[in-house]
Amino acid sequence: MEFSSKLLEKAVYEMSQLPGIGKRTALRLVLHLLRQPKTQTEHLVMALGTLRNEIKFCQNCHSISDVNICDICSNPNRVRDMICIVEDIRDVMAIESTGQYRGLYHVLGGKISPMDGIGPQNLNISSLIEKVKSGEVKELIFALSATMEGDTTNFYIYKQLEGVEIKTSTIARGIGVNDELEYADEITLGRSIVNRIPFENALKNS
């Protein structure tokens, strides 16, 4: 792609560094900004710049927060001895939107992935282990995605906690509510049969 303007070329290049944004999409986005009032670009630039400079991570759960201890961790109504381990803040937001969880979170910031050069030392794992070993946690819920990396990370944490007396669980995998059986993949369907639950329990939850 040849550009008649170095300014345009630079903006498109930087935009195309974002994941899933190719050169053509980047050009489309940048040209859109040029067609809009100047204020739109100023607001975008300001919001991104401020976020990157002033962002804080909760000192307790490592989730993104504007203050040192996030709203969830500082909420006295949350169950403090139950911790749900998630990958990033999107998972926190997803679980919070269900309204079904009243415990705290621990955000790892990723999953162990040797292929991408991400080891346990790059994640917020040691602080989790410390927290658990200090005895303030009764139940750990593993809520990482059920991929190779997620399972590896779960297992690594599980091994680190050998000898510690704590209840551990993992979120249920199965056929989505309202999903048709015929469209489910075999592994999910298989797991949902192996991990079937008593009918009375299902009645209670519905």
Q: Could you say whether residue 116 binds its own copies (CB under 8 A)? A: no
Q: Could you say whether residue 54 binds its own copies (CB under 8 A)? A: yes
C-beta of 29 vs 129, nearer to its own copies: 29
C-beta of 91 vs 157, nearer to its own copies: 91
Decide: helix, strand or coil at residue 65. strand
**Phi first, then psi: what are they for 104, rounded to 5°?**
-100, 175
Radius of gyration for the chain, computed over Cα atoms and rounded to the nearest angstrom: 22
Among 22, 49, 176, 190, binds its own copies (CB under 8 A): 49
Q: Record the tokens describing residue 87, joined without a space.
A: 């990958």
Q: What is the DSSP letter of 206?
A: -
- The answer to whether residues 69 and 59 touch, using CB atoms and an 8 Å cutoff, is yes
CA nearest 16: which of 3, 27, 6?
A: 27
Contact map string, positions 137 to 166, toward its own copies, x by CB under 8 A? ------------------------------
Stretch that binds its own copies, among 32-40, 76-84, 154-162, 178-186 (CB under 8 A): 32-40
Which H or E run contains 84? strand 82-86
Residue 186, CB-side half-sphere exposure with 13 Å CA sphere: 0
Nearest distance from C-beta of residue 100 to its own copies, angstroms: 15
Q: Could you say whether residue 25 binds its own copies (CB under 8 A)? A: yes
C-beta of 71 vs 136, nearer to its own copies: 71
Q: Record the tokens describing residue 48, joined without a space.
A: 């991104």
Residues that bind its own copies (CB under 8 A): 1-8, 10-11, 13-15, 17-21, 25, 27-35, 38, 40-45, 47-55, 63-66, 70-72, 88-90, 92-93, 96-97, 109-110
